[in-house]
Amino acid sequence: MRASLIQIAVDDAESVVSRRSRVAALVRDQQDSDLVVLPELWPVGAFAYEQFETEAEPLDGPTYAELSKAARDARVWLHAGSIVEQAGDGRLYNTALVISPAGELAATYRKIHRFGFDEGEAVLMSAGDSLTVVELPEQTLGLATCYDLRFPELFRGLVDSGATTLVVSAGWPERRRSHWTLLNRARAVEQQTYVLACGTAGTHAGVQQAGHSLVVDPWGEILAEAGPGEQVLTVDLDPAKVAETREQFPVLKDRMLGIRPAAH
């Protein structure tokens, strides 16, 4: 399976409408890939909190409409990053969209762990409450978004649900880039899966982004890494690598479930 991660530069001066059009063109350029991945909240910017309400849209809104056509034109599976979803009950969610090569909405994932420590996203967005896996012809994707990366139990749940490739869509800040690299490699080693970690470049409301999107193999080795600017990272993944790794080093079989907390 060939995967392309599009590390989009988010410039505060660029309009959402212009960025949608530009990103759709980048997706159309990936016709040699099977899967294309975009970052978190790239239409508005992950730290542009003041724009969340004004730029919120339903699942079938303008971002889906634009990228559905692009996925269909390129004949790719598209993890379209995430949008600020305006739900029917008025709540906002940080919601990832997966679009099929036919342009259909195949799956969604509402981000469970919201960042902000009682500010920003943590206050403005509601939390998702369920895991999402997506069956592709050669891989099963498990979806996570940015701050989720710090919660390993979520990823173990995705593996228990059958995930063989973990997709992490993010708007990760430069000042914590060392954590970005470390945590993505750790999740790959723990779960013995591929990790496709796609972040943004540029700035979100003045917050410098880390860039450095990664593709990590089931042994935790970095197969490819982007630089700090806008870039397309393309890697061929071996679908058999996950099963081979788990057979050669069957650590998941030694899990001890149901351990009780220590008594006090």
Predicted confidence at residue 59, as pLDDT, reads: 98
Q: Check if the beta carbon of residue 146 is closer than 8 Å to that of residue 169.
A: yes
pLDDT band at 262 (very low <50, low <70, confident <90, very high): confident
In a domain? residue 93: yes
Please determine, for residue 264, whether its predicted confidence score (pLDDT) is greater than 80: no
- Per the annotation, the verdict on 121 as an active-site residue is no
- Per the annotation, the verdict on 111 as an active-site residue is yes
Q: State the total domains in the chain.
A: 1
- Name the token pair of 44: 């508005």
Choosing from 111, 121, 198, 230, which is the catalytic residue? 111
- Per the annotation, the verdict on 50 as an active-site residue is no
In a domain? residue 204: yes
In a domain? residue 176: yes
pTM above 0.85, yes or no: yes
Place of tokens 């490819």: 224
In a domain? residue 262: no
**Rounded to whole angstroms, how far apart are CA atoms 131 and 133?**
7
Please determine, for residue 10, whether its predicted confidence score (pLDDT) is greater than 80: yes
pLDDT tens digit sequence for 202-256: 998 899 999 999 999 999 999 999 999 999 999 999 999 999 999 999 999 998 8
Containing structural domain, residue 152: 2-251
In a domain? residue 60: yes
CATH number for 154: 3.60.110.10
pLDDT tens digit sequence for 34-49: 999 999 999 999 999 9
Choosing from 55, 57, 146, 198, which is the catalytic residue? 146
Rg (CA), the chain: 18
Choosing from 40, 55, 85, 121, which is the catalytic residue? 40
